[in-house]
Amino acid sequence: MQQLIEAIVKPLVDYPEDVRIETDETSSRVVYKLFVHPEDRGKVIGKQGRVAKAIRTIVYSAAGGHQKKTYVDILD
């Protein structure tokens, strides 16, 4: 799943080397924490959150067959 998120996000940003994903997993859910360069945060979120929503939709669809609930958080 991390590779999928990286494949989506890296072409969108100016600093692809600063893209970092951390995983926080519990028994019932998986949270992917996406870190990008501060100047790229707006590009990843998009106008009115449209890009972030699209990223989340793709990840949720890909994780649909898993037993755990999946979340994507964009952090500073």
User: Any residues with CB less than 8 A from the CB of 42 and at least 6 apart, and which?
Assistant: none
Q: What are 17-73's pLDDT values in tens digits?
A: 999 999 999 999 999 999 999 999 999 999 999 999 999 999 999 988 778 899 999
User: Any residues with CB less than 8 A from the CB of 30 and at least 6 apart, and which?
Assistant: 1, 23, 24, 63, 66, 68, 69, 70, 71
CA–CA separation, 63 vs 44, rounded Å? 20
User: pTM value?
Assistant: 0.88
Residue 76 reports pLDDT greater than 80: no
Work out the average pLDDT over 11-21.
Answer: 96
